[in-house]
Amino acid sequence: MTDTKNVKYYDNLAVASSPHLVTALDTQKTMMWVLIALIPSFIASVFYFGIGAVILTAVCAGCSALFEYGYERLLGKKVTVKDLSACVTGVILAMNLPANLPVWMAVIGCFVAIVIVKQLYGGLGRNFANPAIVGRIVLLLSFTSYMTTWPVTRLNQTADAVTGATPLGLLADGALAEAPSLGTMFIGNIGGAMGETCTIAVLIGLAILIWKKIISPIIPLCYMGTVFVFAFIYYSFAGGDYSALHMALFHLLAGGVVFGATFCATDYVTSPIMRNAKIAFGIGCGLVTMIIRLFCAYPEGASFAILFMNVMAPLLDMVAQNRFYGISAAEKAAKKAAKEAGKEAAK
């Protein structure tokens, strides 16, 4: 017989509701992976735009964290800078700016993004619009000339040309013949916002996010797919000097679609949760982007499109939620199987 009389009894154990095991992936690690996915874009921006990109990125990330810390300390709230979400906002905002933007303007952008868009609505998880996107739009409307003066990449710099147009700018001006080739746009040797130009770097980031299951691929794929299909159909009818396929790719590679689809439209807080709503969200982003690009005064529409769909997201979620039910996938599969069995029997 085992002698357990000398073993102490424990009568004050902790009780809690199950489960008693949770995943190691928390908000901070999630944000860390987003930052890691932004590294290729950052490297590309430094490669093309030099030291200015480093300064602007560092200032934006630092200021965003500082504004969050300051606001939360000032209002006596729990300081949540450690979750890195403010840094992610800062870096994404920086990637949306031209590399030669005066630093003080970037600081204003960070203030708008963190304090006005995020914290005034209740902090992380409560904002209805993507902070980085709104920060960018406020800067664009306030300092339009600075925000639309794009530096030429270091590889293309000549003595008399330090700024140039973006491919979409050229398209809007009807000077499409001067636009760079698709290959040049793919590797990012063009004018534009720091992180947006190099598509290959953004795609590496997208692959990292999908591989680590940080984001679901639904929104980026629907967004990019819609832009591609919309442009293809439009140019099939409108015609032009280039083939519809060329123009569809052009619209994908030019401007902020790929970057926006990867890092901005997939923001958890401001995108829908339900699968069907995500599909509608991605398609909506693509449609609005293309409508602005083709029919409106602005050459680029990705930011406005994402902001517009951010506001739509709760609505889309609500519609999707009203249509879901327990074991939906299973019931659907069962119905489908029954239908197929019926068809086979009919044969």
Partner 1 sequence: MFGAKHLNSIHAGHYKNTAGCATEVMPVPDVVKISMSQNIGAPCKPLVKKGDTVLVGQKIGDTDAFLHVPVHSSVSGVVTGIETQRNAMGGYDTLVVIQSDGKQEIDPSVQPPEITDQKSFIAAVKESGLVGLGGASFPTWLKFNPKNLGEPMTLIINGAECEPFITSDHRTMLEDAQNIIDGALMIMKYIQAPECYIGIEDNKQDAIDQFNKMFAEQGITNIKTFPLQASYPKGAERVLIYEVTGKTCNAGVLPADLGCIVSNVTSVAFWGQYIKDGMPLVKKRVTIDGDAVAKPGNVLLPIGTMIHDAIGFCGGYKEEPRKILMGGPMMGRAIFSDRMPIVKNNNAILAFTKEQSLIPEETACISCGRCHTACPFDLLPTGFADAYEARDVKRLNDLKIMQCMECGSCSYICPAHRPLAFINKLGKGLVREASQK
| Integer Cα distance of 341 and 121 in angstroms | 53
The single residue among 106, 201, 208, 274 that binds partner 1, judged by CB under 8 A, is: 274
The single residue among 4, 160, 295, 345 that binds partner 1, judged by CB under 8 A, is: 4
The single residue among 25, 103, 162, 233 that binds partner 1, judged by CB under 8 A, is: 25
Output the six-digit token pair for 175: 């000077």
Which range in 67-75, 98-106, 192-200, 263-271 contacts partner 1 by CB under 8 A?
263-271
Which lies closer to partner 1 via its Cβ, residue 30 or residue 226?
30
Give me the helix-helix angle, 103-111 and 131-142, nearest 10°.
Answer: 130
Which range in 16-24, 177-185, 236-244, 290-298 contacts partner 1 by CB under 8 A?
16-24
| Integer Cα distance of 245 and 224 in angstroms | 14
DSSP alpha helix (H) spans, the chain: 27-49, 51-74, 85-95, 103-111, 131-142, 144-147, 167-172, 182-187, 199-211, 218-238, 244-253, 257-259, 275-295, 302-321, 328-346
| Integer Cα distance of 331 and 260 in angstroms | 35
Which lies closer to partner 1 via its Cβ, residue 12 or residue 145?
12
The single residue among 175, 324, 339, 342 that binds partner 1, judged by CB under 8 A, is: 324
Q: Which of residues 216-235 bind partner 1 (CB under 8 A)?
A: 216
Q: What is the residue whose two structure tokens read 């994908």?
A: 252
Q: Which of residues 123-162 bind partner 1 (CB under 8 A)?
A: 123-126
* Minimum distance from residue 23 beta carbon to partner 1 (Å): 6
Which range in 1-9, 129-137, 227-235, 242-250 contacts partner 1 by CB under 8 A?
1-9
Residue whose C-alpha is closest to residue 35's, from 216, 203, 263? 263
Size of the residue set binding partner 1 (CB under 8 A) = 53
The single residue among 327, 343, 345, 347 that binds partner 1, judged by CB under 8 A, is: 327
Q: Is 209 exposed, middle or buried (0-12, 13-18, 19+ CB in 10 A)?
A: buried
The single residue among 103, 273, 311, 315 that binds partner 1, judged by CB under 8 A, is: 273
CB 272 within 8 A of CB 281: yes
| Integer Cα distance of 343 and 332 in angstroms | 16
Within the chain, what is the greatest distance between any pair of CA atoms? 95
10 contacts partner 1 (rule: CB under 8 A): yes
Name 345's Cβ contacts closer than 8 Å, sequence gap at least 6: none
The single residue among 51, 183, 325, 346 that binds partner 1, judged by CB under 8 A, is: 325
DSSP conformational letter for 83: G
* Minimum distance from residue 88 beta carbon to partner 1 (Å): 11
User: What is the β-pairing status of strands 163-164 and 150-151?
Assistant: antiparallel
CB 257 within 8 A of CB 251: yes
* Minimum distance from residue 298 beta carbon to partner 1 (Å): 29
27 contacts partner 1 (rule: CB under 8 A): yes
Q: Which of residues 198-217 bind partner 1 (CB under 8 A)?
A: 216
Q: Which of residues 71-130 bind partner 1 (CB under 8 A)?
A: 80, 83, 85, 123-126
315 contacts partner 1 (rule: CB under 8 A): no
* Minimum distance from residue 329 beta carbon to partner 1 (Å): 6
Site of interaction with partner 1 (CB under 8 A)? 1-4, 7-23, 25-27, 29-30, 80, 83, 85, 123-126, 216, 268-269, 271-274, 321-322, 324-331, 333-334, 337
